[in-house]
């Protein structure tokens, strides 16, 4: 009698298990197979219902337990219907998460089945995440914006709270974005990149403090390598990285590397199209576009903007005396002096020949005079040496300060013309002067 009961039990459980297993085996064999609600519930309900009917009525002798289990199954299936695709897989896993007591064949089989279900669920989850992040890769060409979006994605999905991105630039590894790291990390980074493998470092009992807000216990280094570009992503968490996360980083790192390489090339192309190759300043076409943007901002925020025109005194005579290469050297050095003495949100443009246009945002007359005078004096005191010859160089600067005073629009060309007229006055008054319009 006990053998017959056990046999019925095995038949019941095998019938129930087959209801779960059939659609999932199809999914495993053919990843493109859509594991939809209808397919899953049809297989599950028919086989599972028959299995638990045999078990509860013929073995347990309790029709009540059968209907309770059936009701519970229907309730779970209703919950599956209400959720999205990825949560569907999680709910299928929950429905299938029953155990068989004992150490016999069915007990071991049920454990293997649950492991299989977890594998299918994680694979489905990773596929969905990969689609989402590839969408980010395909739509973003700015390195910093791309890094920021990736960080937000990893924060939302895996709880990554600290991140650093690095990009190869002129042979050097430079940080392009970092969040919640106190400083950038460069020590030994090239070794990890050359190794070209995802590396997880657990800090164990040592607590690493960043910005006094987080206690990072685990760091993951993800090399980003293509044939023509190298970079890296460093991630930090307050707990350990799970296997599914590391599997995800291994999956996406090559497409991520390609995305950041494209962003790097885009940056180079933009730089080539906007930068004057000799001086490193913005060229006239792009510079005027940026000037209009800065003036629009000044109008919107009601902030003053100072526009200056710098011209090298007696530049033709320098070219005639020392040669055009000497003139190029002087122009390049003066451009460096200008760049080093204005802020990052200010503007310097090679306007034409030896003329440089300078725009100082949110700058009043007093500050503008100080900045332009400092540049003039630094040029005057600088020792220009070319092929062993010292060359005395001075510049003249004319400037105009525009106050929006609630205006909604302004003629940009007129503001430049005001600065140009002040430059003419500086030249007429003897050169090597700073004059306000």
Is residue 134 one of the residues assigned to a domain? no
- The range of the structural domain enclosing residue 24 comes to 2-129
Domain co-membership, 348 together with 406: yes
> Which pLDDT value is given to residue 57?
56
> Which pLDDT value is given to residue 11?
57
pLDDT mean over 422-430: 93
> Which pLDDT value is given to residue 350?
92
Q: pLDDT exceeding 70 applies to what percent of the chain?
A: 68
pLDDT-based confidence at residue 274 (cuts at 50, 70, 90): confident
Give the C-alpha separation, 112 to 93, whole Å: 13
pLDDT-based confidence at residue 174 (cuts at 50, 70, 90): confident
Q: Is the pLDDT of residue 416 over 90?
A: yes
Is residue 195 one of the residues assigned to a domain? yes
Beta bridge partners of 168: 173
Give the C-alpha separation, 106 to 55, whole Å: 14
The residue out of 253, 273, 293 marking a domain boundary is 273
Q: Are strands 208-210 and 395-402 parallel, antiparallel or unpaired?
A: unpaired
Q: Is the pLDDT of residue 88 over 60?
A: no
pLDDT mean over 99-107: 47
Look at the chain and report how many structural domains it folds into: 3
Domain co-membership, 144 together with 103: no
Name which residue leads in pLDDT, 15 or 265: 265
CATH number at residue 298: 3.30.70.270
Domain co-membership, 230 together with 178: yes
> Which pLDDT value is given to residue 399?
96
Tens digit of each residue's pLDDT (9 = 90 or more) over 191-236: 777 777 888 877 654 444 444 456 777 888 888 888 888 888 888 8
3-class secondary structure, 354: coil
> Which pLDDT value is given to residue 8?
54
Name which residue leads in pLDDT, 405 or 338: 338
Of 353, 274, 351, 344, nearest in space to 308 by CA? 351
First-to-last CA distance in the chain? Answer: 111
Domain co-membership, 431 together with 288: yes
Q: Is the pLDDT of residue 415 over 90?
A: yes
Distances (CA, A) of 255 to 119, 134, 225, 237, 259: 23, 8, 10, 23, 6
Q: Is the pLDDT of residue 81 over 70?
A: no
Is residue 279 one of the residues assigned to a domain? no
Domain co-membership, 109 together with 233: no
Specify which of 73-87, 95-109, 129-143, 358-372 reaches the highest per-range mean pLDDT.
Answer: 358-372
Tens digit of each residue's pLDDT (9 = 90 or more) over 39-77: 555 555 555 556 555 555 555 555 555 556 555 555 555
Give the C-alpha separation, 205 to 338, whole Å: 51
Radius of gyration of the chain (CA): 35
Counting beta carbons within 10 angstroms of the beta carbon of residue 394, is it exposed (0 to 12), middle (13 to 18) or buried (19 or more)?
middle
Name which residue leads in pLDDT, 310 or 57: 310
The residue out of 239, 273, 307 marking a domain boundary is 273
**Is the entire prediction scored with pTM above 0.85?**
no
Give the C-alpha separation, 334 to 358, whole Å: 13
Average pLDDT, the chain: 78
Domain co-membership, 430 together with 296: yes
> Which pLDDT value is given to residue 70?
53
Is residue 350 one of the residues assigned to a domain? yes
pLDDT mean over 107-131: 70
pLDDT-based confidence at residue 21 (cuts at 50, 70, 90): low
Give the C-alpha separation, 394 to 397, whole Å: 10
pLDDT-based confidence at residue 126 (cuts at 50, 70, 90): confident
Is residue 217 one of the residues assigned to a domain? yes
């Amino acid at each position: 009698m006990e053998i017959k009961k056990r046999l019925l039990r095995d038949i019941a459980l095998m019938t129930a298990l087959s209801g779960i297993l059939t659609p999932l085996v199809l999914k495993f064999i053919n990843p493109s197979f859509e594991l939809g609600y209808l397919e899953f519930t049809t297989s599950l309900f028919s086989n599972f219902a028959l299995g638990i009917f045999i078990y509860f009525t013929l073995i347990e002798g309790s029709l009540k337990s059968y209907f309770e289990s059936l009701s519970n199954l229907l309730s779970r299936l209703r919950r599956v219907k209400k959720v999205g695709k990825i949560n569907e897989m999680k709910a299928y896993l929950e429905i299938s998460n029953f155990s068989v007591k004992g150490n016999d064949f069915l007990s071991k089989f049920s454990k293997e089945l649950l492991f299989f279900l977890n594998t299918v669920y994680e694979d489905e989850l990773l596929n969905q995440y990969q689609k989402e992040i590839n969408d980010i890769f395909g739509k973003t060409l700015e390195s910093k914006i791309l890094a920021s979006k990736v960080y937000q994605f990893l924060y939302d999905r895996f709880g990554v709270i600290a991140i650093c991105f690095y990009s190869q630039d002129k042979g050097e590894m430079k940080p392009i974005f970092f969040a919640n790291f106190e400083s950038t990390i460069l020590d030994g980074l090239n070794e990890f990149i050359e190794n070209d493998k995802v590396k997880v470092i657990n800090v164990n009992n040592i607590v690493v403090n960043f910005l006094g807000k987080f206690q990072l216990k685990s760091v993951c280094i993800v090399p980003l390598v293509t044939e023509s570009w190298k970079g890296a992503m460093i991630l930090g968490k307050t707990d350990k990285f799970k296997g599914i996360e590391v599997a995800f980083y291994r999956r996406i790192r090559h497409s991520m590397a390609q995305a950041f390489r494209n962003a790097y090339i885009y940056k180079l192309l933009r730089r080539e199209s906007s930068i004057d190759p000799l001086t490193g300043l913005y060229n006239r076409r792009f510079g005027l576009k940026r000037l209009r943007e800065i003036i629009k901002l000044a109008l919107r925020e009601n902030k003053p903007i100072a526009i200056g025109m710098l011209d090298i005194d007696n530049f033709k005579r320098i070219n005639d005396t020392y040669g055009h290469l000497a003139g190029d050297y002087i122009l390049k050095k003066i451009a460096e002096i200008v760049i080093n003495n204005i802020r990052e949100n200010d503007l310097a443009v090679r306007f034409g020949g030896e003329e440089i246009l300078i725009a100082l945002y949110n700058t009043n007359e007093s500050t503008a005079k100080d900045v332009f005078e400092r540049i003039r004096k630094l040029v005057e005191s600088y020792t220009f040496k070319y092929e062993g010859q010292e060359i005395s160089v001075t510049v003249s600067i004319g400037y105009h300060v525009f106050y929006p005073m609630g205006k909604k629009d302004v003629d940009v060309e007129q503001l430049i013309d005001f600065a140009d007229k002040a430059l003419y006055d500086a030249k007429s008054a003897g050169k090597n002067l700073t004059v306000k319009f």
